[in-house]
Homo-oligomer: A and B are copies of this chain.
Amino acid sequence: MGSDWGGALADHMRRTAALRQVEMLLDWDRETQMPPKGAGQRAEQAAAVASALHALETDPRLPDWLAEAGANATGAAAVNVREAARVHARAIRVPAALAAALARAAVEGQTAWAAARAASDFAGFAPALARIVALQREKAACLAGDGGRYDALLDDFEPGATAAEVAAVFDRLRPELVALRRRIAGSPQRPARLAGGFPAAAQLALARRIAGVFGYDWAAGRLDVAVHPSSSGTGGDVRITTRIDEADPFQCLHATIHEVGHAVYEQGLDPALAFQPAGAHASMGVHESQSRLFENHLGRSRAFCRWLAPAMAGAFGRDLAPQAVYEAVNLVEPGFVRTEADEVHYNLHVMLRFDLERALVEGSLEVADLEAAWNQRFLADFGQPVPDARRGVLQDVHWSAGAFGYFPTYTLGTVYAAELDAAMRRDLDLDAALAAGDLAPAVAWLNARIHRLGRLLPARRLIAEAIGRDPDERALVAYLEAKFGELYRL
């Protein structure tokens, strides 16, 4: 490594990383294990851990430690110093009163959002959201320095990325997706869902089998059922959750494959860099590249459906043809909800949110006008009007939780996934491996180029090194055109 990482700074970073793991465990436990009356205490516990983390990040000894360690640092140690300095600089730029107001507003915002969403009433959420947006603008101003305000928030999730660079990709991608969506909508081809019921226990057993096939290390994780699929934790303890719909087995199976994509990334980080900033995942975009690569490029491939169809036939006791499974798992249907969207519509959902949240942060859009802006954009991109706020502007938790700058990482990840898939297929006979249910070569390819490198390289450069050139949206467009052109005979 060329690293002599150790001493007080390393201890400090180790404690910081460990407390972040504790934060994730508190969330996982809340979603899967906690009894109902534990919610109030859990909020206090999360606040106490956040407060301890803030104390670490703003420790007044850090500048001296960083200066000393930075002088001669190379390799991983240099990345550690750079990342620790970045986190420290961000932490001390946000005044304690603002940080506390942001935390409070996020808790109140999620309560207001849940009630407003249940009532499908945006006006009931608008005051809380307006408060959140005002505080996010204030936070962005504290953090921005000479840079853009939205960039300052994006940096929490995609270090080093800028809104302009993201927008350049998105602005080229959006018309391609809108056009493809229209051509599919006009196609007479109408693939069918799988009919009948799929018992929950059989779905879960098959999901466990598939997780193993995709490289999930069961000695370093576990699978539970929850309302929202998730992956949390790192290294030797990466827990995933999935959801079950007895009418549609792919909710469970492909949510599991998606989360296994995240989990295999975290399980595959370099243990020698555990508890060091350099050993963490590169960015949320890179994280999402792994989950969407697993879910879509591998899990929804024709080749994998040749393995999946007989596996499903065994699990559910009925005959299923690979082609029927392939068509059912790749249905393109207009819908209003991002988390239920197919591969063609998904990124249109994300881009809508990116443009709106950027305008909110930069001050060119106010919360009072948000619902109208959402509905107008949705009609333009999806060709149908939003039926109600619950399936429109109120559908996502992110803004109520103050996570501005998160959305674009979903589409960045999709773009990276297509690039990695194409590069991997140049090196490996992926289809033969997928049809045999042998994902080991793919996992090894990703582990060597992505997982083990952690945060040693900036996210975009990490992808560029893996694929041999700068990533852009063309691989994604080509993939979607080929796959759905064939499926819908365009």
Contact = CB atoms under 8 A, between A and B. Distances in A.
A39 B236 contact: yes
23 contacts: A15-B47, A15-B48, A15-B52, A17-B44, A18-B45, A18-B47, A18-B48, A21-B45, A22-B49, A25-B26, A33-B33, A33-B222, A35-B219, A36-B219, A37-B235, A38-B237, A39-B236, A41-B234, A41-B235, A41-B236, A41-B237, A42-B237, A55-B55
A42 B235 CA distance: 11
A51 B19 CA distance: 10
B45 A25 contact: yes
Interface string A10-42: 000011111101100110010001111111111
A275 interface: yes
Contacts of A35: 218-222, 236-237, 239
A19 B235 contact: no
A217 interface: yes
A25 B21 contact: no
Given A35-B218, A35-B237, A236-B35, A41 B55 contact: no
A176 B238 CA distance: 54
Nearest to A224: B33
Main secondary structure of the interface of A (DSSP, over half): helix
Which 5 pairs across A and B sit closest by C-beta, in order of nearness? A38-B237, A37-B236, A18-B48, A52-B52, A37-B220
A306 to B, nearest CB: 31
Contacts of A34: 237
Q: Give the size category of A's interface with B.
A: 35 or more
Contacts of A274: 41
B275 A38 contact: no
B45 A22 contact: yes
Given A19-B48, A25-B29, 8 more contacts: A16-B48, A18-B41, A25-B26, A36-B220, A37-B220, A37-B236, A41-B235, A41-B236
Contacts of A37: 217, 219-220, 235-237
A34 B237 CA distance: 7
Nearest to A217: B37
A44 B26 contact: no
Contacts of A14: 44, 48
